[in-house]
Amino acid sequence: MSFKKSEKLYQKGLTHLVGAVNSPVRAFASVGGNPLFIKKAKGSKIIDVDGNEYVDLVLSYGPMILGHRHKSVEKAAKKALKNGYSFGASTENEITLAEIVCDAFPGMDKVRFVNSGTEAVLSGIRLARAFTGKDKIIKFSGCYHGHQDALLVAAGSGLATLSLPGSKGVPEGAVKNTLIAEYNNLASVQTHFDKYDDIAGVIIEPVGGNMGVVIPQNNFLKDLKELCKKNGAVLIADEVMTGFRSKFGGAQEVLGVEADITCLGKVIGGGFPVGAYGARNEIMENVAPLGGMYQAGTLSGNPIAMAGGISTLTELKRQNPYEFFDEMGSKIETILLDAAKKYNVDLSVNRFGSMMNPFFTNVKVTNFEQAQTSDTEKFAVFFWEMIKNGVFLPPSQFEAWFLSSALSKKDIKIFEKATNKAMLAVSKM
């Protein structure tokens, strides 16, 4: 397998792009070597510029839930393109997508579309403060909520991979209202409520996906919602990763919890830049032009992106692939655990539907601290063997893997063969 063209583009890219990437998670910082450059993708496969083909478990970090270039999505986007790219005025498609979204999330009467998950969350936080009139926000260590200043502390994968505690360039003032709690530890949240009376809200990834996959234990979300309610704070569900992925109604549907404010991204645009935040009327009425909380966007509700979102969600609802995801996911999980056992490698796998990943540790991972017991050098060896055997994974121990509904039995065979080779290589370290 040759990576010559990727290497050449990487060298060229270094001149005018930072690290030759436009998002640090795409750099191969923790696995070594150079990032791959992609030429195209179709269905469950992605193809690099050297012509190497991979089963894609990155899926653009989540959005491509139907696989790449699904026919109906491509058709809808092309059709929208013909009518113009952006108008600075409302279009019917925005209403259509809003209906689909509010129908899927019972806690959302109204929604506002933005261009990314980061924007969705920073607006959701502003809304929590506008609604409650309070300033402080509790976040969980290991949860990532986009790259806004206020939440860029103890923020999971990207930072963990680069061994950064937080980001430079974030002034102290920007995080002075951010409190950190431990995932799956209600007492660590209670402590903050005991100490402060100006907590506007608690933000959480209802299923952790940015410290590797971490699943809420023993009604953690339900208890968290109750705790928020008791203390006059709102629960903000950052479902940018889990929305439409865990279930059509997100992790909230699976866990039986209704958040006060929900943030969406990734799958909602099916690969086009769409983010959204929404809540019940009483909360959303604080947003301009109805209320005094300002939030705007030149390209928000972009007609091509809306068409991409509508067609993706319509097709997703039609396919209803969540049982299929469970079936495929459990196969992949079994393959990983069997190979680890066979080659005597410490491995712990977490999976929530179509989101999963192995941790190279013998510790059961339920929070960020436990995730960090993973052997990242083992992951690096595993990663490259998987690449060389035709499986594209995120280049970090702390990123979730994603499944698409385009995944086939043949892909699973490829995955199984690659996994056995990779685990053997790890066992020889």
Residue of 48, 56, 238, 411 marked catalytic:
238
CA–CA gap between residue 246 and residue 238 (Å, rounded): 13
For residue 21 the two structure tokens come to: 């990437």
> Nearer Cβ to ligand PLP, position 45 or 145?
145
Sole binder of ligand PLP in the list 30, 93, 118, 161 (CB under 6 A): 118
> Nearer Cβ to ligand PLP, position 30 or 123?
123
Sole binder of ligand PLP in the list 6, 141, 161, 210 (CB under 6 A): 210
Sole binder of ligand PLP in the list 58, 121, 152, 365 (CB under 6 A): 121
Does residue 109 have an active-site annotation?
Answer: no
Q: Shortest CA distance to 345 belongs to which of 291, 303, 381, 369?
A: 381
Which residues in 125-164 contact ligand PLP (CB under 6 A)? 144-146
> Nearer Cβ to ligand PLP, position 276 or 423?
276
In terms of DSSP H, where are the helices of 343-397? 368-371, 376-388
C-alpha triplet 251, 252, 256: angle, nearest 5°:
120
Binding segment for ligand PLP (CB under 6 A), chosen from 31-39, 49-57, 219-227, 238-246, is 238-246
Q: What's the one-letter identity of residue 159? A: L
Strand 53-56 to 391-392 pairing? parallel
Binding segment for ligand PLP (CB under 6 A), chosen from 27-35, 114-122, 193-201, 383-391, is 114-122
Residue of 266, 322, 375, 378 marked catalytic:
266
Question: Could you give the C-alpha distances from 247 to 118, 188, 218, in angstroms and in order?
Answer: 22, 29, 19
Sole binder of ligand PLP in the list 94, 238, 258, 411 (CB under 6 A): 238
3-state class of 225 per DSSP?
Answer: helix
End-to-end CA gap in the chain: 22
220-230 and 186-195 helices cross at what angle (nearest 10)?
A: 10
Residue of 10, 54, 61, 144 marked catalytic:
144
Does residue 266 have an active-site annotation?
Answer: yes
Catalytic annotation, residues: 144, 238, 266
Residues that bind ligand PLP (CB under 6 A): 116-118, 121, 144-146, 205, 209-210, 238, 240-241, 265
